[in-house]
Amino acid sequence: MNFDFSQEQQMLQDSVSRFIQDNYDLESRIKSAGSKFGFSQDHWQTMAELGWLGLPFDEADGGFGGTQIDTMLLMEQFGKGLVLEPLLASVILGGGALKRGASTELKAEILPGLIDGSRQLTLAYAEEQAHFDLHDVTTTARSDGDGFVINGHKSMVLHAATADQIVISTRTSGGQIDEKGISLFLIDADADGVKRDNFPTVDGLRASEVTLQDVTVGKDRLIGELDGGFAILNDVASDAILALSAEAVGAMEVLYKDTVDYTQQREQFDHPLADFQVLQHRMVEMFMEYEQCKSLLYRATMEAAQGSSAAQRSVHALKHLVGKAGIFIAENAVQLHGGMGMTEELRIGHYFKRMIVIDAQFGNADYHLGKFAA
């Protein structure tokens, strides 16, 4: 048992932390979020140069051979700055699917660009009727000569507007909610028949509704086995949950610490707010929830990195706790800031909005409680 980070991991943590401190003050973030792409192209290049976009890929594929633990360190720092750049979409989601299922040729074609930042990926998995079930898929891929023809509609595809390619889950056999019969393909985002309807999300990120009409794709673009895409999808989702939870833990830290600071500065009734016992206890509760989330994050991440069979259940537990505790912390941070917490002027509100979206991504607290209890 060892909770120490290696020297390399500490260096990674330090360099991400420095990047956030130097670049991610609230004003810069708001400016970036409102820009054309919703994030900074410069930051994206910096992230590539610092090797962050290659973190989870094998050295043989040009990556750094990192594990979920390395991603956790990175994402926790990202959470402190509410980073906008599409690392989750491109590296963890799109890249994660390729890493697990793509042929050597496909990896060789796509990954170098992904790692050097010149190519951006995303994953289209959600469908309106599916609520949070990854295996509820109605988008079809019909075998046609040497390839497939895709028809359907995918929802809330993260950063699809700037993506070059999209990994998409399709039904190639079986019934609507069967795990077997799902196949993953890599399609060009600007292929004939792909329509992207882009919009911002409440947390300042970007997403798209993606409609697919007779989109043709070669069978060399199949990721994993035909009909066997679900296992990959599920593993990618687990990695995404770990990454999002790390981001959430970083954001929780900012929320509770900012609240502790603010209540010491703000005076009412001739006392700093922090003198009032009921507020002290509330902040202790926020702190406790944060620490508990961090513990469960470490647990689930270490299990996943070791390929432990307990990992799946821990991932459910983690997403449940992070959703519940994250919103508890965020709501109380707003409450304890009073009117100021309700404004766009303080960063509190922005972290609050990110927290509510994190809960809704890849299944909310209730959904994972149900999975855990099942």
Partner 1 sequence: MDIELGPEDLAFREDVRSFFAENAHKAGEDYNVWRLDWFKKARDKGGWDVPKWSAEFGGPGWTPTQHYIWEQETAQATLPWDMPFGIGMIAPIIMAHGNEEQQERFLPDIRGRKVNWCQGYSEPGAGSDLAALKTKAVLSDDGTYYTVNGTKIWTTMAQIADWIFCLTRTDDSGIKQEGITFLLFPMKQEGIEVKPIITLGGAHSVNMVHFTDVKVPVENRIGAEGKGWTYAKGLLQHERTGLAGISRSIVALENLKKQASTVKRGNGSLMDEPTFRAKVAELEIDLMASEFTELRSLASASAGSAPGPESSILKLKGTEIQQRIAKLTVEAGGIYSAAWGKPVGHKFAKGGMGGYLASRAFTIYGGASEVQKDVIAKNVLGLKRSSK
Ligand X SMILES: Cc1cc2nc3c(=O)[nH]c(=O)nc-3n(C[C@H](O)[C@H](O)[C@H](O)COP(=O)(O)OP(=O)(O)OC[C@H]3O[C@@H](n4cnc5c(N)ncnc54)[C@H](O)[C@@H]3O)c2cc1C
Q: Say which amino acid occupies 143.
A: S
Angle between helices 311-337 and 277-305 (to 10 degrees): 160
Minimum distance of ligand X from residue 344's CB (angstroms): 13
The answer to whether residue 317 forms part of the interface with partner 1 (CB under 8 A) is no
The answer to whether residue 328 forms part of the interface with partner 1 (CB under 8 A) is no
The answer to whether residue 335 forms part of the interface with ligand X (CB under 6 A) is yes
> What is the spatial distance between Cα 110 and Cα 338, in angstroms, rounded to a whole number?
49
The answer to whether residue 307 forms part of the interface with partner 1 (CB under 8 A) is no
> Contact, 158 vs 234, CB < 8 A?
no
Binding positions for partner 1, 249-288, rule CB under 8 A: 267-270, 275-279
The answer to whether residue 203 forms part of the interface with partner 1 (CB under 8 A) is yes
The answer to whether residue 360 forms part of the interface with ligand X (CB under 6 A) is no
Q: Which residues contact 253 (CB under 8 A, 6 or more apart)?
A: 79, 80, 290
- Could you say which of 145, 175, 307, 339 contacts ligand X (CB under 6 A)? 339
- Could you say which of 26, 50, 191, 356 contacts partner 1 (CB under 8 A)? 356
Encoding tokens for residue 63?
A: 């990556």
- Could you say which of 210, 349, 351, 355 contacts partner 1 (CB under 8 A)? 349
HEC string of 61-117 equals HCCCCCCHHHHHHHHHHHHHHCCCCCHHHHHHHHHHHHHHHCCHHHHHHHHHHHHHC
The answer to whether residue 330 forms part of the interface with ligand X (CB under 6 A) is no
Binding positions for ligand X, 252-291, rule CB under 6 A: 266, 268-269, 273, 276, 278-279
- Residue 27 interacting entry, from partner 1, ligand X, none, C-beta within 5 to 8 Å by type: none
Query: Based on CB atoms, which residue is closest to ligand X, 278 or 373?
Result: 278
> What is the spatial distance between Cα 113 and Cα 48, in angstroms, rounded to a whole number?
10
- Strand pairing partners for 182? 171, 228
Q: Which of 158, 174, 183 is nearest to 101 (CA)?
A: 183
> What is the spatial distance between Cα 121 and Cα 119, in angstroms, rounded to a whole number?
7
The answer to whether residue 346 forms part of the interface with ligand X (CB under 6 A) is no
> Contact, 188 vs 164, CB < 8 A?
yes
The answer to whether residue 67 forms part of the interface with partner 1 (CB under 8 A) is no
Query: Based on CB atoms, which residue is closest to partner 1, 107 or 368?
Result: 368
> What is the spatial distance between Cα 40 and Cα 36, in angstroms, rounded to a whole number?
9
The answer to whether residue 26 forms part of the interface with partner 1 (CB under 8 A) is no
Q: Which stretch binds partner 1 (CB under 8 A): 74-82, 197-205, 252-260, 309-317?
A: 197-205
Q: Which stretch binds partner 1 (CB under 8 A): 11-19, 43-51, 192-200, 212-220?
A: 192-200
Minimum distance of partner 1 from residue 162's CB (angstroms): 17
> Contact, 155 vs 137, CB < 8 A?
no
Residue ranges that bind partner 1, judged by CB under 8 A: 126, 128-129, 131-132, 155-156, 177, 197, 199-203, 207, 209, 267-270, 275-279, 327, 331, 334-335, 338-339, 341-345, 349, 352-353, 356-357, 360-361, 364, 366, 369-370
